[in-house]
A and B are shown apart, each in its own frame.
Chain A
């Protein structure tokens, strides 16, 4: 819409000719200049510039919908009103049905906590036919760290849905729907994304998983603000991809330790609370999500996986529809299992904190549990 050619917009002939004479060919060029700049450039009066701009704007501006018609449309056309159930009852209830379509959902947590396991389970679920709770379509799994294990995927399938996976052809069909990409650099990733966008609808892709986003960027040696700029194109591209295709997009993120560059206070806070700065810092954990604050704004739903006093929790840290809840969970041979469907309500910024206590014990316990 932004790159709409002026020649395609029904403007009065004289103005249209002037626009093209001055090399303003797309709506974008015309709209980024102010009215006076356009007057100078095109040598026409103010009223003509105004009417031309308002006509261009009217065509370029997106149409409106009432919120009611939006809701009705979603409920009619989409699976469960636009949510993908994860099979974890408590989590699905908190998220009003499941992972939302058309927006980014982020899984963030320390290493070894179960992010990839969760992604494997979700990919499997998405490939299943709808009567088993799946999306009956293909899944594109972008595996940056080479963590995808097809054997584990089939094991999860066998334990959770034995009736399907015991038959070899069905197992092959389901596993065949999950396409794994392994980009080795950011440039390759960018290329794959562009290809995906083109063929998304024809190939019936119903979900996109990127595991993990942080690994892509950490390979490039840039710090702080420059790193965020590198990502910003990708962020908006993935978001627009999710938006126009209305599929759930799951992205995993790593954690890093907080360094002194991390800001957490506003200027007015610093001024009024000189004495109390020391104490408030104690509440924050020493781990933060990688990828910075711009990324944190861009994701719509953030699920934090953490380990606290020997137990694993999955927390709904940021979501427009759910209260801040934490659910304890276990990794089992059939994927992830919630230990309790009633989440524990977490107050305040605790919901965003990422803990890593007692993690080693869990890993050892997990190993025993799997065998």
Chain B
């Protein structure tokens, strides 16, 4: 690993190179006071540089069997991990089927569709379903609902929560006919209490919030799903610099994926549609452009087909288009 890859400031790097240290091995044998003298920096700065250097180098020379490159996992271990992961049901058996059991944890799923097709409804449903307790096959976790458009209606969430509890009691009665009636102790209010609601009014707040979620999630370890409704709204208004928009969006997507993997939760992003001119005709496509389409792991498009709503899996690493 070379010096220019180290995460230190540009001036420190410049000093290292001009003093003749171009590779890490050259830093391995020097002491911090000598380094400080050579580079003309303070001793604590020199110690810092050496610490960073040895940290990056340590990953290369470690001998543990599955840490050939630090942070990597062997594919076999990953398979075990994936099988033990639970899914969040969407309350629609067909949709769960094509999703392979439900919304996957540790992945980012994007759901898009025309206005009025039910994206917000699906988002609220997922935020409620994640709270189904483990006994009923759910994750028993909390949810974060990030609202950028103001379309979260509390009354509707209450209705969905009531229906969910009714479903659970029916399931209970159906399955445990022989045993005693285990009463469902959950009330709709409890479900609502476990939905953390954030209202965002600009894209700066959106970026700030996703940065802050890191800290929030370490304090609230029960959160199992983050629903963002919708991720496009603030990015479609007054953004003149398209290159900046792409950069900001991809940075945000990476952070979300990072959160999903580290805290083992599912991230659901709701997207709007726009018209795209392709092959001499106008078609509907999900908003935010082509570069955004690469950033999410799974993509579901909701559309009208005749009189019914259909879902189409547009992109997924492990599921077929359906």
Contacts and interface: CB of A to CB of B under 8 A. Distances in A.
B242 interface: no
Interface string A280-324: 100100000000011011111010000000000000011011000
B202 to A, nearest CB: 4
B282 A300 contact: no
Interface string B105-117: 0000000001110
Interface stretch (A107-115, A124-132, A202-210, A343-351): A343-351
Nearest to A39: B9
Interface residues of B, number: 80
B10 A293 contact: no
Interface in B103-160: 114-116, 120-121, 144-145, 149-159
Contact of A58 (B189, B212, B284, B301): B212
A149 interface: no
A171 interface: no
Interface stretch (B31-39, B81-89, B191-199): B191-199
B3 interface: no
Interface in A207-255: 232-233, 235-236, 239-240, 242-243
Nearest to B14: A43
B274 interface: yes
Contact of A67 (B154, B211, B233): B154
A74 interface: yes
B71 interface: no
Contact of A300 (B11, B151, B193, B237): B151
Interface stretch (B62-70, B93-101, B171-179, B306-314): B306-314
Contact of A62 (B205, B230, B234): B205
Contact of A297 (B10, B144, B272): B272
Contacts, number: 213
A58 B207 contact: no
Given A266-B284, A300-B150, A56 B115 contact: no
A84 to B, nearest CB: 14
A258 to B, nearest CB: 12
B116 A65 contact: no
Most central of A302, A317, A348 by chain B CB within 10 Å:
A348
B236 interface: yes
A306 to B, nearest CB: 16
A197 B40 CA distance: 57
A44 B214 contact: no
A270 B9 contact: no
B25 interface: no
B304 to A, nearest CB: 4
Interface in A1-38: 1-3, 27-28, 31-32, 34
Given A27-B204, A62-B205, 9 more contacts: A45-B8, A57-B209, A64-B144, A68-B195, A236-B234, A239-B149, A266-B284, A267-B278, A350-B307
Interface of B: 7-12, 48, 114-116, 120-121, 144-145, 149-159, 189, 192-205, 207-212, 214-216, 230, 233-234, 236-238, 244, 247-248, 251, 272-276, 278, 281-285, 301, 303-308, 312, 314, 321
16 contacts: A57-B209, A62-B209, A65-B197, A66-B196, A70-B154, A71-B154, A96-B156, A103-B151, A232-B236, A242-B150, A265-B284, A268-B314, A297-B233, A318-B115, A321-B159, A349-B304
